[in-house]
A and B are shown apart, each in its own frame.
Chain A
Amino acid sequence: MSTLAPPQSETTATPELDAVRAKFPAGSILPQDGLDQPVWIVSKDVLFDVARELKENPQTQFDMMLDLFGVDFPDREERFEAVYSLYSLQRKARLRLKVPMREDDVTLPSMVSLWKGLDWFEREAYDMFGFGFDGHPNLRRILCHEAFQGHPLRKDYDPARRWILTEDKIYKPHFDLPETGDEMFERMTINIGPSHPAMHGTFRLMAVLDGETIVASDVEIGYLHRCFEKMCETHTWQHVIPYTDRLNYCSAFINNVGYCRTVEKMLKVEVPPKAIWARMILSEFSRIMDHCVCNGTTLVDAGGLTNFWYMFQPREEIYGLLESVCGARLTVSACRIGGLIQDLPPDFEARSRKLLEMIPPLVDDVEKLVNKNRIWIDRSVGVAAISGEDAVNWSWTGPCLRASGVGYDVRRAHPYDLYDTLDFEVPVLYGGDVYDRFRIRMLEIRESLKMIRQLLDRGMPSGPWIVDDPHVALPSKEACYNQMEAMIYHFKLIMDGISVPEGEMYSMVEGANGELGFYVISDGTGKPYRIHCRPPCFPIFSAFPGLIKGGSVSDAIVSLGGLNVIAGELER
């Protein structure tokens, strides 16, 4: 494989960035214009200072570190690349820092002191690529088990090579325990999960208790790490779509859209209006059903089972709609690169309108049951609260961030598809606690319904459901059986897959629990070179041990549900 060509310039120069760059020695920062956002290639020695300057300089204000991941280029002299993704809430600007590294020297400075949200991202980069981070408090594997050898996302790692976990290698918790100075004092350590209903079956919480109060805790994840990013590299671009379904499986459709949009941007194809219209409606329905499950299970964890049955009813009806569109209920794979899987069913609009009638009363019922319920209020108000500033520092996005008073929503800040033409509000609450995280999802359900109503009122656009480009979309069966050319295109697409031009791209959508981004690199062959998913709940869950400190175990249980941590997306 050849080394990748530098991307063509599309973005304009940014004076703020140039001002920061001028403060550092020439040659230590090389700016590049990415296809999607400005890119800096930063030398390892100045990385920490550059990052701190970018964060603290009032002109740049990159207060959020969205993501960190590695890329491996075995043919390059500087084989590895660590990629940092910065975001400024104030300026709505993005910047990508790339740090090239030689194979024999892969240690970077840890930046957990600047952005707490990097804690788990750095551990993941260590686990997947073997990067070292100087000064990280707890640098150990996070997704793979402790008996694992090698670093799976390196290109020379065989995708199917497994290691068996033995009893003696099971994770030992890491606590930051304050000294008591009292010899008679005794603490108790309890373990919850991974096979525990309150831990959603896949998380393990180890907490040190002083009486009933949690003084320290550690969370272990990785019980559902199923190698999404490695699997993408062994499949064609279209084949990745079913894998994206299984990231956030509570709202699979949004993942489809996020991935397909990224690849479409690289291909520069124009998606037909009908497909965009349907994608938006189904995305909003998916968001509603994700919020329904999240709020339903939160209330189950708090002991209110009735609400779960109420909240599951709309979900079941939305499943019906999705089933009529693509034949599957949960893991839909209903998008294709360039459009949709097939034409919409004739009763699509009627069914959607029926759902609009049906959902509000059920949501009302649940709100009537809980909003003024003494037990629920006592269990949730002020529990696991986080300030907006901290939430940003932990790289939170989505409803959890908006419940802490920061109104960042991708649909509003960086509108995609038709969101800039819709009339909707981004609800913001200020408590930052379990109660507000619950309330904000209820408000968002109503906003989503509002959006769907507006889209339905505009009427279904006519025309095709997928782009008419034989290099991207399969020709119809009829054409395929009757025309030589169509059959050749069909054969090429099935055997070789879509050929995406060389380059890299990051694009994001507002997922049900935050900014869901896909970063893809193509080397021009039929398979993706690297796909990285920016999982919204990964940084959210990394703040969990801090959130539950000082509360009781029952507070910890009730706060986990409200964070909407979906294992498939958390661990990929």
Chain B
Amino acid sequence: MSMTGESWVTTTFDTLEDWAARNSFWPFPFGTACCAIEFMSTVSSHYDVSRFGAEVVRFSPRQSDVLLVAGTINDKMGPVLKKIYDQMAEPKWVISMGACACSGGFYRAYHVMQGIDEIIPVDVYVPGCPPTPEGLIYGILQLKEKVARDREHQRRMNRESKDQEKTQSVNTGAPTV
């Protein structure tokens, strides 16, 4: 582009949207315990998660697309977490940071949820107690790939279902919608 002096590029809208979605996560840090301190390290200057496009931390579920659960979730917190997840708009993803959020960790106890996937779906599990910032950044990069894959998959599914509808309507003679 720079060689020809042109300042435009042709692409499909889907490609552009994919590129934007996977490179600008707006995480909601649901930090409760020790992992939240490591999350703070990750966003601080030393590790600087903005290099990977995930630094726009939002504390409102309505403004964010990645729910980053950092810390132990117990039975008292469960309903809160579920409500926050439900309030987030689609598309949304969940990173479970640390052993406690993934599986309850070493708290096999009367008040601790044995992994947040008891109540909400999880896309990326980051192991560690707590995970190092490098570990969390790796998890974010994994999520990036997953987002790209998911969107591709979603589009294919949409196309196929449309094709199917068409063939069905041809076969039955009903008008296509």
Beta-carbon contact of B110 and A157 below 8 Å: yes
Cross-chain contact of A165 among B30, B37, B79 (Cβ < 8 A): B79
How many chain A residues touch B (CB < 8 A): the figure is: 49
Beta-carbon contact of B33 and A567 below 8 Å: yes
Beta-carbon contact of B71 and A201 below 8 Å: yes
**Residues of B contacting A225 in the complex (Cβ-Cβ under 8 angstroms):** 74, 76, 111
Beta-carbon contact of A316 and B37 below 8 Å: no
In angstroms, Cα B111 to Cα A222, docked, is 10
In angstroms, Cα B74 to Cα A143, docked, is 11
Nearest B residue to A146 via CB reads B76
Beta-carbon contact of B108 and A330 below 8 Å: no
Binary flags per residue of B91-111, CB closer than 8 Å to A gives 1, else 0: 000000000100000111111
B78 in the interface (beta carbon within 8 A): yes
Beta-carbon contact of B75 and A231 below 8 Å: no
Nearest B residue to A323 via CB reads B132
Beta-carbon contact of A164 and B38 below 8 Å: no
In angstroms, Cα B71 to Cα A347, docked, is 33
Beta-carbon contact of B79 and A226 below 8 Å: no
- Shortest distance from the beta carbon of A163 to any chain B beta carbon, whole Å: 7
Cross-chain contact of B78 among A165, A196, A201, A329 (Cβ < 8 A): A165
- Shortest distance from the beta carbon of B26 to any chain A beta carbon, whole Å: 15
Beta-carbon contact of B129 and A201 below 8 Å: no
In angstroms, Cα B38 to Cα A246, docked, is 13
**Residues of B contacting A319 in the complex (Cβ-Cβ under 8 angstroms):** 41
A197 in the interface (beta carbon within 8 A): yes
In angstroms, Cα B31 to Cα A571, docked, is 15
**B-facing residues in A131-165 (Cβ within 8 Å):** 143-145, 148, 152, 157-165
Beta-carbon contact of B79 and A167 below 8 Å: yes
Beta-carbon contact of B84 and A195 below 8 Å: yes
A48 in the interface (beta carbon within 8 A): no
Beta-carbon contact of A330 and B130 below 8 Å: yes
- Shortest distance from the beta carbon of A225 to any chain B beta carbon, whole Å: 5
Of A165, A196, A222, A223, most buried by chain B (CB within 10 Å of CB) is: A223
B46 in the interface (beta carbon within 8 A): yes
A456 in the interface (beta carbon within 8 A): no
Beta-carbon contact of B111 and A162 below 8 Å: yes
In angstroms, Cα B40 to Cα A309, docked, is 10
Q: How large is the interface on B (under 10, 10 to 19, 20 to 34, 35 or more residues)?
A: 35 or more
Of A157, A158, A309, most buried by chain B (CB within 10 Å of CB) is: A309
In angstroms, Cα B76 to Cα A567, docked, is 14
**A-facing residues in B62-99 (Cβ within 8 Å):** 71-72, 74-81, 84
In angstroms, Cα B110 to Cα A152, docked, is 7
A249 in the interface (beta carbon within 8 A): yes
A526 in the interface (beta carbon within 8 A): no
**Residues of B contacting A249 in the complex (Cβ-Cβ under 8 angstroms):** 33-34, 37
How many residue pairs at the A-B interface have CB separations less than 8 Å?
A: 126
Beta-carbon contact of A160 and B109 below 8 Å: yes
**Residues of B contacting A313 in the complex (Cβ-Cβ under 8 angstroms):** 45-46
Beta-carbon contact of A201 and B30 below 8 Å: yes
In angstroms, Cα B64 to Cα A166, docked, is 27
A470 in the interface (beta carbon within 8 A): no
A242 in the interface (beta carbon within 8 A): yes
Of B30, B33, B40, most buried by chain A (CB within 10 Å of CB) is: B33
Beta-carbon contact of B32 and A202 below 8 Å: yes
Given A293-B37, A316-B44, A331-B34, decide whether A227 and B112 contact each other with a Cβ distance below 8 A: yes
Beta-carbon contact of B132 and A329 below 8 Å: yes
In angstroms, Cα B34 to Cα A235, docked, is 21
In angstroms, Cα B70 to Cα A224, docked, is 12
**B-facing residues in A229-246 (Cβ within 8 Å):** 230-231, 242-243, 245-246
In angstroms, Cα B74 to Cα A157, docked, is 18
Cross-chain contact of B37 among A159, A162, A163, A250 (Cβ < 8 A): A250
B59 in the interface (beta carbon within 8 A): yes
Given A195-B84, A201-B71, A329-B132, decide whether A227 and B30 contact each other with a Cβ distance below 8 A: no
A73 in the interface (beta carbon within 8 A): no
Of B79, B111, B130, most buried by chain A (CB within 10 Å of CB) is: B111
- Shortest distance from the beta carbon of A356 to any chain B beta carbon, whole Å: 20
B136 in the interface (beta carbon within 8 A): no
In angstroms, Cα B33 to Cα A36, docked, is 33
A-B contact list, 29 entries, CB within 8 Å: A143-B111, A144-B110, A144-B111, A157-B110, A159-B108, A159-B110, A164-B78, A194-B77, A194-B80, A195-B30, A196-B59, A201-B29, A201-B36, A201-B71, A224-B71, A224-B74, A226-B74, A226-B100, A226-B107, A226-B109, A226-B111, A230-B109, A231-B107, A246-B34, A312-B44, A329-B41, A329-B132, A330-B34, A568-B33
Sample of 9 more A-B contacts, CB < 8 Å, known A144-B76, A148-B111, A167-B79:
A157-B110, A196-B59, A226-B100, A226-B107, A227-B111, A230-B109, A316-B46, A329-B41, A330-B130
Q: Taking beta carbons and an 8 Å cutoff, which residues of A are in contact with B?
A: 143-145, 148, 152, 157-165, 167, 170, 194-197, 201-202, 222-227, 230-231, 242-243, 245-246, 249-250, 293, 308-309, 312-313, 315-316, 319, 329-331, 567-568
What are the nearest 3 A-B pairs in CB distance?
A227-B109, A249-B34, A145-B76
